[in-house]
Structure 1
Amino acid sequence: MKNLLILFFFVTMSCQTTTNKMIKAPITESNPTAITAGNALSIKEKMIKHFPKEPLYYVYMDHEQCFFEILVNDIPAFRYFQDGGIMSPVLLNNFIAKSGKQKLTYRLYPHNEREQGEGFKELTPYTRFNLTLYSRDNADTLTSFDKQVKVLEHVNPKKEDGKTFIGAGLPYYEYTVEFNANVPYEQSPSLDAAVDLRTMDKEVLEEKAVEAYKYFGKLVGEKNKDQYFSLVFNSDMRQLQSEYYTPEHLKENGKDDLFYFDTPSFKLEPLENYAMKIYGDGKLVCLEHRSTDTRLRGRSSIWGKYNAEEGGVRVRFLRILLYIPKGKDTFEIW
């Protein structure tokens, strides 16, 4: 009887061990080496390549009476839900995976909320959205605007009268233009090797996405720096390489990542009131706020508040896009 009990105990523990081994985190990584908070910066610096020519692609927007979003190759690149205009350019390189044809999409929404005056439920006849795409060499730091090259200029379409915005009266308007980019890098891994998430059951996909977001939020909330830096490493490298970061820029970037762990007052808000969105021509998924509040609209559902040094409460959003590499069954961060 004693031997049977010992055998039963051994079999039970073996089953539990096997079960534990089978449990996978909802987000995994495929880094070239083990990444921690302590070594991430030095590894990034060694991996970033520099080239004789380092083209940067960026757009300027001229807009009136609309909020807007910019997507590059169906990946969210920029959003603007504020009154007033924006003067700064939006850099696109992080969303250009390799040389060749690129898609640039803008989505316009009516000014439903305004700091002054009444909002609009529909896009007005006077809605304006024009954009100009430029390219310049990253090395031209002193004369960048003298040597920039105009790649594309787009004026939003008008009705037959030549004055009225073509989308007047609509609650939403979308337009896509294409351009050719020539970059010296090729991002890896590629979304070409990712699962098309549109083929999955929508409820199952959302359950997996929610689980992944909760897992990632928990890592940040529990100040697990090593796991955080490991999971975001490939995503960081994509941006750092495409924007040709220098060691000086890398150090500033590293300080920003540490904010979530070195700011005692930073606390995450509950994951709620979210909508699942699919981007990247079906290869990327994320959770965004459903709220129509312009401060939250379209923002990541992982966010938190902190006490600013200059006084008052501020917020930060941690946007992650998830994909599943072919041959795997867990998400990675894009």
Structure 2
Amino acid sequence: MKKTILSLLSIMMLSCQGQTNTAYQMKISEAENIKNNNKNNGAIFSPNDDKNMIEIKQKDYNLYTGSSNCQFEILVDDVPPFVGFWGKATEKGTGFAGAIPINSCLLKSGTHSITVKIYPRYGKSQLEYMSAFYFDAYYRKVHTLDEEFEVQLYRLESPTKSGGATGLQGFPYFEMKSEIVADLPFEIEGWRSSVNLKEEQENGHDLKKELQKTYQNLWDIINKKDTASLLKIISEREDLLAEAFYFTPKEKEEALQDLLSIIKDDTYELAPFSQEAKMYFYGYGKMVTLLDLEREGVIRFVNKKDPKETISLEFRFHRKKTNEELKVI
């Protein structure tokens, strides 16, 4: 079993061996097409209905997703709220279903974009019969599962062909777009005003070399179990997540201890840091990370008794001002 820690506040999702078919970038469905139910490729889109929005001060926004016969990733304002669903887990058509919290991608009130990228399942070059994806956008009162305090906003789903229900069969790639209007009691700076790292890379700066060096420093700190130094490095990210998910000081501390317990656990050993990784830019170029060919974080713990059990840490970086060092965000 493989686990990837996306946010260091113990938000853990399964991450499996991944292989994506990025050679095809065919946009089948754009936002203006999606809004027409069962027209222009048939994707279904319903916008926020303000009449149904109830007065909840601390709103916890989520996407409840479901998939079949495909791999996929979700981007909220060009930031993935979780690792996506990749690899051998999809080889036999297995689907994914679950709620994905997105507050950490929203940062402030207003209109936010949501993009879903759908790829053929592992080992296939095209989407197949009944390849499909949907999500329900909703918010609820924080720290409750009571449906009385839950508001459904809309559903976005991939098209089906009338009669045969063939789904996305024959497409090498499918993309859907929508928007969500968020009402939040906070405004977080995060990476919004940070340097565009993608532009730096395009203008000749060897960002990958800098990123590898930064990751190596993190690896060394974690390998020494220097938790004090690690907490200092990740403090900005921890503060952002605590505010976005309305953590109390006690909850924040408990989540940090969950992370540190992994680093201190002698059941696991830190795998050698791999230099073979690909850069991924997020947040419209203002964040960057390194992921291996399986789309996992390059800092990885391996269970000494069961090497098949691994835990990966993914760190995302930004640069607040030109010429400053990369920092975890």
Where in structure 1 do 4 or more consecutive aligned residues deviate above 6 Å? none
Cα separation, 2, equivalents of 1:281 and 1:320: 17
Cα separation, 2, equivalents of 1:249 and 1:274: 34
Q: Residue 29 of structure 1 corresponds to which residue in structure 2?
A: none
Instruction: Structure 1: state its 5+ residue gaps.
Output: 1-51, 113-118, 291-296
Q: Residue type of the partner of 1:108?
A: I
Q: Residue type of the partner of 1:238?
A: L
Query: How far off its partner does 1:178 sit?
Result: 0.8
Asked if residue 107 in structure 1 is aligned to residue 117 in structure 2, the reply is yes
Q: Residue 59 of structure 1 corresponds to which residue in structure 2?
A: 63
Query: How far off its partner does 1:328 sit?
Result: 4.0
Query: How far off its partner does 1:312 sit?
Result: 6.5
Asked if residue 315 in structure 1 is aligned to residue 310 in structure 2, the reply is yes
Asked if residue 152 in structure 1 is aligned to residue 154 in structure 2, the reply is yes
Query: How far off its partner does 1:217 sit?
Result: 1.0
Q: Residue 239 of structure 1 corresponds to which residue in structure 2?
A: 241
Q: Residue 47 of structure 2 corresponds to which residue in structure 1?
A: none
Which of 60, 68, 74 is the aligned partner of 2:72?
68
Which of 310, 319, 327 is the aligned partner of 1:324?
319
Please give the residue correspondences for 1:15-30 in structure 2 after superposition, counting only pairs within 5 Å: none
Q: Residue 278 of structure 1 corresponds to which residue in structure 2?
A: 281
Cα separation, 2, equivalents of 1:171 and 1:330: 39
Q: What is the DSSP-based 3-state SS (H/G/I as helix, E as strand, rest coil) of the residue aligned with 2:130?
A: coil
Q: What is the DSSP-based 3-state SS (H/G/I as helix, E as strand, rest coil) of the residue aligned with 1:218?
A: helix
Q: Residue 18 of structure 1 corresponds to which residue in structure 2?
A: none
Conserved? CA contact 2:319–2:327, under 8 Å? yes
Conserved? CA contact 1:220–1:260, under 8 Å? no
Conserved? CA contact 2:67–2:95, under 8 Å? yes
Q: What is the DSSP-based 3-state SS (H/G/I as helix, E as strand, rest coil) of the residue aligned with 1:74?
A: coil
Q: Residue type of the partner of 2:259?
A: D
Query: How far off its partner does 1:164 sit?
Result: 3.6
Query: How far off its partner does 1:96 sit?
Result: 1.0
Cα separation, 2, equivalents of 1:226 and 1:107: 38
Q: Residue type of the partner of 1:288?
A: L
Q: Residue type of the partner of 1:299?
A: E
Q: Residue 13 of structure 1 corresponds to which residue in structure 2?
A: none
Conserved? CA contact 1:53–1:138, under 8 Å? no
Cα separation, 1, equivalents of 2:283 and 2:160: 29
| CA RMSD across the alignment | 2.4
Q: Residue type of the partner of 1:280?
A: G
Query: How far off its partner does 1:158 sit?
Result: 4.3
Query: How far off its partner does 1:142 sit?
Result: 5.6
Q: Residue 31 of structure 2 corresponds to which residue in structure 1?
A: none
Cα separation, 2, equivalents of 1:185 and 1:76: 20
Query: Against the structure 1 CA distance between its residues 262 and 198, is the aligned structure 2 distance closer, same or farther, given a 3 Å change threshold?
Result: closer
Q: What is the DSSP-based 3-state SS (H/G/I as helix, E as strand, rest coil) of the residue aligned with 1:198?
A: helix
Conserved? CA contact 1:307–1:313, under 8 Å? no
Cα separation, 2, equivalents of 1:247 and 1:88: 27
Q: Residue type of the partner of 2:328?
A: I
Q: Deviations over 1:51-107 (max 9, x none)?
A: x72000001112110121122111111212334334431111111110001111112
What's the TM-score, normalizing by structure 2? 0.74
Cα separation, 2, equivalents of 1:206 and 1:220: 21
Query: How far off its partner does 1:274 sit?
Result: 0.7
Q: Residue 266 of structure 2 corresponds to which residue in structure 1?
A: 264
Q: Deviations over 1:292-327 (max 9, x none)?
A: xxxxx211122121247xx66521111111111124
Q: Residue type of the partner of 1:187?
A: I
Q: Residue 187 of structure 2 corresponds to which residue in structure 1?
A: 186
Q: What is the DSSP-based 3-state SS (H/G/I as helix, E as strand, rest coil) of the residue aligned with 1:212?
A: helix
Conserved? CA contact 1:125–1:164, under 8 Å? yes
Q: What is the DSSP-based 3-state SS (H/G/I as helix, E as strand, rest coil) of the residue aligned with 1:76?
A: coil
Asked if residue 298 in structure 1 is aligned to residue 295 in structure 2, the reply is yes
Structure holding more helix per residue: 1
Asked if residue 93 in structure 1 is aligned to residue 103 in structure 2, the reply is yes
Query: How far off its partner does 1:247 sit?
Result: 4.4
Q: Deviations over 1:187-246 (max 9, x none)?
A: 13x323211112213561111111111111111111111110001011011111111113
Cα separation, 2, equivalents of 1:126 and 1:85: 11
Cα separation, 2, equivalents of 1:307 and 1:256: 20
Query: How far off its partner does 1:159 sit?
Result: 5.6
Cα separation, 1, equivalents of 2:191 and 2:145: 35
Conserved? CA contact 1:110–1:172, under 8 Å? yes
Instruction: Structure 2: state its 5+ residue gaps.
Output: 1-55
Query: Against the structure 1 CA distance between its residues 323 and 251, is the aligned structure 2 distance closer, same or farther, given a 3 Å change threshold?
Result: closer
